[in-house]
Amino acid sequence: MISLGIESTAWNFSVGVVSEDEVIALEGDAYIPREGGIHPREAAQHHSEVAGKVLARIFEKVNPGEIDAVSFSQGPGMGPCLRIGATVARTLALKLDKPLIGVNHCLAHVEIGRWLTGAEDPVTLYVSGGNSQVIARRGGRYRVFGETLDIGIGNAIDKFARYISLPHPGGPEVERLAERGERYIEMPYVVKGMDFSFSGIVTHAMKLCDEGYRIEDIAFSFQETAFAMLVEVTERAMAYLGKEECLLVGGVGANSRLQEMLGLMCTDRNAEFFAPPKRYMGDNGAMIAYTGLLMMKHGIRTELSESYVKPDFRIEEVEIPW
């Protein structure tokens, strides 16, 4: 069985093709904002301009006749961006006369992580630009045990990066700065129950910049504080649920310090830590293709009349028959 998947929730227009055993092809084109953060309409414009090129690159590697299903990111994400992916997917499904499958984007991050690492029943820390959630399976669904009360950790880091004039996306740049940090400066540590909040850290970090603190120390303290909050909630979820695996997914998961902190927490509690290769951490078409393939194997498909995009689609809404 071969599945093609289209990802277009935010910054990346990406198409992946997978079989049950491997990723066969993955091609994409990233939208980079000229200034500021991701502008939904501009990103959608970008996606519609590159969609044809990206698909052409895929079909240099894969014969369209081999494809058994067309999957797409149905949400959550930015409405205008989602609509481009959904439109391309509908067109392709009709043209190839194959089933269409609408995939929950967060579920796809979790499933590609499990697939590529071999984690079976983990507590997943999903950290990306727009989302930050602690997810685990209970009964026939994934549930969110903790999440951000305001912005995603990726957006928080990107906002701080913009303030100090670093190029977008700021995550990798801030990570490099933080490696040269020498001194920890106190930051707002906000964990409420199982939820967390990052906007206070961003505001505080900006203030410290204005006051002339060393930028490397601010980046270091930002990461240490925000990541400690994420690790605390992840550990608590593992303890409550009695789970012995931790899986890290989402673009921010590429951060070595976050991986190290989660790894240490897992070692301390005799748990196992898993992280997929960086290429599959951030938004990509392969994760949509793979989750679509799982859904198709279990008889799930999306009728055209049900294929509208869902910008607020929650992972809890999806029943998981596997």
Does 111 participate in binding ligand AMP (rule CB under 6 A)? no
CB of 248 to ligand AMP, least distance (A): 11
- From 14, 128, 234, 284, residue interacting with Mg ion (rule: CB under 5 A): 128
Provide the minimum distance between the beta carbon of 283 and Mg ion in the complex, in angstroms, as a whole number. 4
Among positions 102, 113, 129, 276, the unique one binding ligand AMP when judged by CB under 6 A: 129
- Mask for 281-300, x = binds ligand AMP (CB under 6 A): -xx-----------------
Is residue 99 within the footprint of ligand AMP (CB under 6 A)? no
- 128/302 with CB nearer ligand AMP: 128
Regarding 170 and contact with ligand AMP (CB under 6 A), the answer is yes
- Do 7 and 85 touch, CB atoms closer than 8 A? yes
Whether 159 and 37 have beta carbons less than 8 Å apart is answered as yes
The answer to whether residue 175 forms part of the interface with Mg ion (CB under 5 A) is no
Residue 311, interface with ligand AMP (CB under 6 A)? no
> Which of the listed partners (Mg ion, ligand AMP, none) does 188 bind, with a CB threshold of 5 to 8 Å by partner kind?
none
**Which part of the chain contacts ligand AMP (CB under 6 A), choosing from 25-33, 43-51, 200-208, 252-260?**
252-260
Decide whether 128 or 197 has the Cβ nearer to ligand AMP: 128
> Rule CB under 5 A: is residue 73 a binding residue for Mg ion?
no
Q: Which residues of the shown chain bind ligand AMP in the complex (CB under 6 A)?
A: 10, 128-129, 154, 157-158, 169-172, 175, 250-252, 254-255, 282-283
Q: Which residues of the shown chain bind Mg ion in the complex (CB under 5 A)?
A: 128, 283
